[in-house]
Amino acid sequence: MPHDDTAEHISAEGLAAQIPAGFLIGTATAAAQIEGAIDEPTRTSSVWDSFSSQPGRIVDGSTTAVTADHFHRRSEDVALMRDLGADAYRFSLGWTRLQPGGSGPLDAAGVSFYDRLLDELHEAGISPFVTLSHWDLPVEYEQGWLDRDTAHRFGEFAGLVAERFGDRVDAWITINEPATVTLNGYALGLHAPGRSLLFDALPTVHHQLLGHGLAVQALRAASVSGQVGISNAHTPVLPASDSEQDAAMALLFDVIHNRVFADPVLLGHYPEVPPEMADLFGAFSAVPAEDLDIISQPLDFYGLNYYMPSSVAAGAGTGESPDGVSEAMADLPFQLLPLDEYETTGFGWPIAPEYLGVVLGQLRDRYGDALPPVFITESGASFDDVAAADGSVSDPRRVDYVARHLSSALSAVTLGGPADGVDLRGFFVWSLLDNWEWAAGFTQRFGLVHVDFDTGQRTPKTSYRYLQNVFRQRRVT
C-alpha cells in the first residue's frame, strides 16, 4: 500500500471539519516515563527502576530517577494541556507510589499526588482516563507476570484504587499493551524485567489477561462512574512475499502479537492455530474455563494503540525488532523486515497512516458485534526535535504525522470506509511530553512539548500549536 501524498499538509481547519461532535481528542503519558521522583520517602522500587540501573540495558545509560520530573511539575503540565485545549488526558498510576512494596493499604502521599492531579484536571475541564498498569510492577514480584499470583495482586490493587478515585475518573484502562509486555519484557529481553524466554513467555499473556479480568471485576464491584476497557497494540501483519512460508510466519506473528490478546478478551477463547503450530501454544491448552469467563467480561470500550504495520518473512534474522536488537529474536523462525517504501520515524518505524484504517477494519471483521466502541489510546512518532537558537522547537514531520493519522482514522470509519461500522470515540496523541522512552532512554522524543532533560524546561512545539489551532477551529465550527 503506497504512501498517499494527497493526505499530506492537512490544514487545521480541514482536520477540525472532519471531527464529529462528541469525539474526544487527548494526549497520553505513562508514570514511569514522566514522573521521576523515585526517591520520594514512601515510593518503593519498580521493575523499571531495577532494569534501568543495570549496565547496558538503556541505550544512553539513563534511569527512571528524574525523567520529565512531572511529579514536581504536575500543575505546569496540566496548564499546558488546558492551553492546548485537549478534551482528555490519559495517564497511568505508579503502582509503587500508591502501594509501596505492592501490598497493604494505599499510601497517603501517593494518594495525595493523584488526588491533586485529578482535581486540577477537572478544574481545567479535562477528562481523566486512568491506566492501572502501564508496564510497571513492584520489584518485589520476582517472577512478574510469569506468576499467576501477580494477577490476583493486580486485582486487589485495582479494588483499592477504585474505592479511592472511582468517582472522578471518566475511563479506566486496566492494562496497557500486554502484547509489548510479553514480547519485549519476557520473550526478547528488551524491556523490564529483561527475560528472554521466547515462546516460554506465553504464560504472561494469560496472567496479564486474568489480571485484566480481575481488575474489571474490582472496578465494577466498587461501582466506579467511569467506563472500563483495556488497551493493546495492534499491528497489521503483511507477508514479505507470496510464498507459503512467509504467509505461515505472518500468521504466526499475527497470532502472537494481536490475536492471543484480543480473542480471549472479546471472544472468550484463545485463537485456533494450524496443527503444525499447536505445540508452540501449549501454554493455552489447559486454561480453566472460569479464567476465560473472567477475562471476557463485557467492556465499555476497546483501546487500540497503533504505530505501524509489520512485514514478516520466514527464516531467522539478525535479531532486529522495532524496539532494538535481541539475541533471542534471532532464534525465532521468522524475521521482521523494513517496509522500504515508507518514510520512517526516529525509531525507524514506517509511517503508514492508511494502515490505521486497515487494523480498525480487521477488528470489525474479526470481532463483529463483540467489538465495543473503540478509542485509539495511543498514536504518535519520535523525531529528532532540536530547540532553535531562539528557543523554539519546530517539528513539521510530527504535525504531518498526527494530522494524517487522525484524518485516516476518521475517514476509515465513515460510510464506505475500510472500517465502516466501527464506533470510534476518540484519539489520544502519544505523547504530551518528551519523556524517558523505556530502553531508548532520552534518545527518542515523542512529545508535543519539548523537555530540556537538564533543566526540565517545557517548550510547546509546532505540533502543539497545530493541535491547539485544530481545537480552536473545532469550537468555531
Q: How confident is the model over 135-166, as pLDDT tens digits?
A: 999 999 999 999 999 999 999 999 999 999 99
Q: Is the pLDDT of residue 45 over 80?
A: yes
Q: Which residues pair with 232 in a beta bridge?
A: 304
Mean pLDDT of 53-74: 98
> How far apart, in whole angstroms, are the C-alpha atoms of residue 380 and residue 444?
12
Judged by average pLDDT, the poorest of 8-22, 166-180, 426-440, 452-466 is: 8-22
* Residue 177 annotated among the catalytic residues of the structure: yes
pLDDT digits (tens, 9 = 90+) for 270-312: 999 999 999 999 999 999 999 999 999 999 999 999 999 999 9
pLDDT digits (tens, 9 = 90+) for 237-250: 999 999 999 999 99
Q: Which of 120, 177, 354, 437 is catalytic?
A: 177
User: How many Cα atoms are found within 13 Å in the side-chain-facing hemisphere of 364?
Assistant: 16
Q: Is the pLDDT of residue 6 over 70?
A: no
pLDDT at 215: 99
What's the chain's Rg over C-alpha atoms? 21
> How far apart, in whole angstroms, are the C-alpha atoms of residue 377 and residue 428?
5
Q: Is the pTM of this model over 0.85?
A: yes
Q: In the structure, what pLDDT confidence band is assigned to residue 258 with cuts at 50, 70 and 90?
A: very high
> How far apart, in whole angstroms, are the C-alpha atoms of residue 346 and residue 401?
12
pLDDT digits (tens, 9 = 90+) for 324-375: 999 999 999 999 999 999 999 999 999 999 999 999 999 999 999 999 999 9
Mean pLDDT of 193-214: 98
pLDDT at 477: 56
Q: Is the pLDDT of residue 66 over 90?
A: yes
CATH number of domain containing 27: 3.20.20.80
> How far apart, in whole angstroms, are the C-alpha atoms of residue 372 and residue 376?
13
Mean pLDDT of 238-266: 98
pLDDT digits (tens, 9 = 90+) for 415-432: 999 999 999 999 999 999
pLDDT at 2: 41
Q: Which residues pair with 345 in a beta bridge?
A: none
Smallest Cα–Cα separation from 408: which of 399, 419, 398, 397?
419
Q: Which of 35, 120, 354, 378 is catalytic?
A: 378
pLDDT at 476: 67
Q: Is the pLDDT of residue 267 over 70?
A: yes
pLDDT at 4: 43
Structural domain that includes position 206: 5-476
Q: Domain count of the chain?
A: 1
> How far apart, in whole angstroms, are the C-alpha atoms of residue 365 and residue 367?
6
Q: What mean pLDDT, rounded, does the chain reach?
A: 96
> How far apart, in whole angstroms, are the C-alpha atoms of residue 230 and residue 209?
10
Q: Is the pLDDT of residue 8 over 70?
A: no
pLDDT digits (tens, 9 = 90+) for 12-39: 999 999 999 999 999 999 999 999 999 9
What percent of the chain is modeled with pLDDT above 90? 97
435, 437, 440, 446: CA torsion to nearest 10 = -70
The residue behind cell 474489571 is 216
Mean pLDDT of 263-270: 98
